[in-house]
């Protein structure tokens, strides 16, 4: 172990399956994991998280030593998972933060369990703290954890990164627990968001809900005798992880041959605008029949959060839409949309990123969207990006072809534009995007968010400061 960094998140770098003595580790898929894993590998330390295993016993913990860091597992009971993860995290915070209050299901009981599980994580983290440890907590699942740690270990240095959008105060306060959540987060010394807009929304919520003065320019809040810094630093990826040779995926080649490929890679999540993408693609085919038989929308749609009704319904609706469009425009030897509903490994995704001509992202609301960065990092050949203007990455990707995901006309229009771009135009756009991805990489994120602020007493090497 290289450092005394303690990272805590709900989902860890892998899920653990099987029985003791014969445990299998499968890499976990989530935006959080793709960004935090390279950072933890670089700095070292401990990663405390849930690894997908359920138990009725409380506080049973297992430590797995990985090459670059130690992993400590938190086990959850079925009831905890239901109330904390499915109920409050993904039934309240997720839809509120993505501006979809109609999807929110409020429940006092779920919030009570969320609190209890946050306390449990705080307790576990407490046993791992040493003098000089930097505790770095991640995401909306653990918003109360900084408060619980601070209560017991008042001197502890705590950083927190919020990986999803932070909504305007009017939306955030639809839930009756907004005050507690904000107080929970203010237990940290440093709080990070992907964009200036999210940072501002958070500061405004603190100001209005807690009646605490905030400094927007400096991003500071004075609370309980402490100064809290609030920053906007968008996550970057580790480009070299996407530059390796990968094998072909033979089984999809038959459908792709000779086609101009529009690629989408998303979890089957109602925030990702999959139905809107399909509508836009259908509108394009309707307006440009000369492209029938020549283009394909290859959509990876990874099943996710299937215990939540809103997700099950959404998955069903998306598949129905695909079928409708394929029936309307397709024939026995050509279907305009191919949807792949399984999990794809990083190598497989790299293959798809390289195989496609254009990446198309139509999220209705998206904290950042790392897929856009992965697509660019994977390729040598220029590739076009059609990008929803409601993603965090839209500001960094200024030259991408932007769409309002709610407008099928705009989506259809930008699909057409991408097909009419000259090679020179594509190269120019691609070079600018590549520059962003390489410059604002994972190390840049780590340095700008944590490096200077919290004086990591991490030895040896780059991150050492006293
Ligand atoms: C997305 C979000 C992350 C979040 C993750 C949780 O990737 O961008 O901020 O932590 O979902 O995914 P899970 O599969 O654990 O619900």
68-101 tens-digit pLDDT: 889 999 999 999 999 999 999 999 999 999 999 9
In 3-state terms, the chain is what percent helix, strand and coil (to 5)? 45, 20, 35
- 446 φ, ψ (degrees, to nearest 5): -60, -45
From atom 13 of ligand 1, which residue's Cα is the shortest distance away? 30
Decide: 341 and 269 in contact? Cβ < 8 Å: no
Mutate to test the pocket of ligand 1, among 9, 26, 28, 30 (most ligand atoms within 8 A of CB): 30
pTM exceeds 0.80, yes or no: yes
Condensed to tens digits (0 to 9), the pLDDT of residues 215-249 reads 999 999 999 999 999 999 999 999 999 999 999 99
From atom 8 of ligand 1, which residue's Cα is the shortest distance away? 31
Distance 305 CA to ligand 1 centre (A): 10
The pLDDT-based confidence of 59 (bands split at 50, 70, 90) is very low
* Residues with Cβ within 8 Å of residue 67, at least 6 apart in sequence: none
Torsion of CA 176, 77, 161, 464, to 10 degrees: 150
User: Tokens in use for 39?
Assistant: 């950072």
The C-alpha atoms of residue 324 and residue 331 are separated, in whole angstroms, by 12
ipTM of model: 0.98
- Strand 214-215 versus strand 220-223 pairing type: antiparallel
Q: Cα 356–361–363 angle (5° rounding)?
A: 160
Q: Which of 371, 376, 372 is nearest to 354 (CA)?
A: 376
Q: Out of 48-52, 406-410, 418-422, pick the least confident.
A: 48-52
From atom 5 of ligand 1, which residue's Cα is the shortest distance away? 30
* 24 pLDDT more than 90: no
- Tell me: cis bond preceding 460? Omega within 30 of 0 counts: yes
**CA atoms within 13 A of residue 313's CA, in its CB half-sphere:** 5
Q: Which helix (H) or strand (E) holds 25?
A: strand 24-27
Distance 138 CA to ligand 1 centre (A): 10
From atom 14 of ligand 1, which residue's Cα is the shortest distance away? 30
Distance 86 CA to ligand 1 centre (A): 12
- What is the predicted pLDDT for the residue at 464? 37
Condensed to tens digits (0 to 9), the pLDDT of residues 295-307 reads 999 999 999 999 9
From atom 6 of ligand 1, which residue's Cα is the shortest distance away? 30
Q: Cα 139–144–149 angle (5° rounding)?
A: 105
> If you average pLDDT over every residue of the chain, what do you get?
93
Residues in contact with ligand 1 (CB, 6 Å cut-off): 10-11, 30-32, 139, 163-164, 304-305, 367
Mutate to test the pocket of ligand 1, among 8, 11, 370 (most ligand atoms within 8 A of CB): 11
Domains of the chain: 5-236+443-457 (3.40.50.2000), 239-439 (3.40.50.2000)
* 284 pLDDT more than 80: yes
* 67 pLDDT more than 90: no
Average pLDDT over residues 306-322: 97
- What is the predicted pLDDT for the residue at 362? 98
Q: Tell me the three state secondary structure of residue 362.
A: coil
The pLDDT-based confidence of 60 (bands split at 50, 70, 90) is low
- 142 φ, ψ (degrees, to nearest 5): -125, 40
Residue 220 CB: number of other CB atoms within 10 A? 15
Give residue 166's Cα distance to chain centre.
13
The C-alpha atoms of residue 457 and residue 465 are separated, in whole angstroms, by 5
Percent of the chain with pLDDT over 70: 94
Distance 350 CA to ligand 1 centre (A): 20
Q: Cα 27–338–362 angle (5° rounding)?
A: 75
* Secondary structure string (H, E, C) spanning 115-144: HHHHHHHHHHHHHHCCCCCEEEEECHHHCC
**Starting from the edge strand earliest in sequence, which strands make up the sheet with 5-11, in order?**
63-65, 70-76, 46-54, 5-11, 134-138, 157-161, 190-193, 226-232, 220-223, 214-215
Q: Tell me the three state secondary structure of residue 397.
A: coil
* 170 pLDDT more than 80: yes
Distance 32 CA to ligand 1 centre (A): 6
If you write DSSP's letter for every residue of 437-450 in order, what string do you get? HHHT-HHHHHIIII
Tokens 């330390």 belong to residue = 45
Average pLDDT over residues 164-186: 98
Query: Which position has the higher pLDDT, 71 or 455?
Result: 71
* 461 pLDDT more than 50: no
């Amino acid at each position: 172990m290289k450092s005394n960094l303690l990272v805590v998140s709900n989902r860890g770098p892998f899920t653990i399956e099987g029985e003791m003595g014969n445990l299998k580790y499968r890499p976990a898929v989530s935006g959080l994991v793709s960004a935090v894993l390279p950072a933890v590998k670089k700095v070292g330390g401990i990663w405390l998280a849930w690894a997908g295993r359920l138990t009725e016993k409380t506080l049973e913990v297992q430590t797995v030593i990985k090459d670059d860091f130690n992993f400590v597992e938190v086990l959850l009971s079925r009831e905890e998972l239901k109330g904390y993860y499915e109920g409050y995290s993904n039934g309240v915070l997720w839809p509120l933060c993505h501006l979809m209050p109609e999807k929110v299901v409020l429940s006092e009981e779920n919030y009570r369990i969320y609190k209890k599980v946050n306390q449990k994580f705080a307790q576990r983290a407490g046993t791992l703290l040493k003098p000089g440890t930097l505790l770095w907590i991640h995401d909306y699942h653990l918003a109360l954890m900084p408060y619980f740690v601070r209560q017991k270990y008042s001197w502890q240095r705590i950083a927190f990164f919020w990986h999803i959008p932070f909504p305007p105060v009017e939306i955030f306060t639809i839930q009756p627990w907004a005050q507690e959540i904000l107080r929970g987060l203010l237990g940290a010394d440093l709080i990070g968001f992907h964009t200036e807009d999210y940072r501002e929304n958070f500061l405004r919520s603190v100001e209005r809900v807690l009646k605490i003065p905030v400094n927007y320019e400096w991003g500071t809040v004075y609370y309980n005798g402490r100064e809290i810094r609030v920053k906007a630093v968008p996550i970057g990826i580790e480009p070299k992880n996407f530059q390796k040779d990968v094998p072909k995926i033979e089984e999809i080649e038959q459908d792709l041959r000779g086609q101009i490929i529009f690629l989408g890679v998303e979890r089957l999540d109602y925030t990702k605008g999959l139905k809107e993408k399909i509508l836009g693609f259908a509108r394009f085919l309707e307006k440009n029949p000369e492209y029938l038989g020549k283009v394909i929308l290859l959509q990876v749609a990874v099943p996710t959060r299937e215990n939540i009704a809103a997700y099950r319904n959404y998955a069903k609706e998306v598949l129905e839409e695909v079928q409708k469009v394929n029936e309307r425009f397709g024939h026995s030897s050509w279907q305009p949309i191919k949807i792949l509903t399984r999990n794809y490994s990083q190598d497989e995704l790299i293959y798809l990123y390289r195989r496609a001509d254009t990446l198309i992202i139509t999220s209705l609301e998206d904290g950042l969207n790392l897929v856009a960065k992965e697509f660019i990092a994977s390729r040598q050949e220029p590739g076009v990006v059609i990008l929803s203007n409601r993603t965090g990455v839209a500001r960094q990707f200024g030259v991408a072809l932007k769409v309002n995901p709610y407008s099928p006309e705009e989506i259809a229009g930008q699909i057409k534009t991408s097909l009419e771009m000259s090679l020179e135009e594509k190269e120019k756009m691609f070079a600018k995007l590549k520059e962003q991805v390489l410059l604002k990489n994972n190390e840049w994120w780590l340095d700008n968010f944590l490096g200077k602020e919290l004086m990591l007493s991490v030895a040896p090497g780059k991150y050492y400061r006293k």
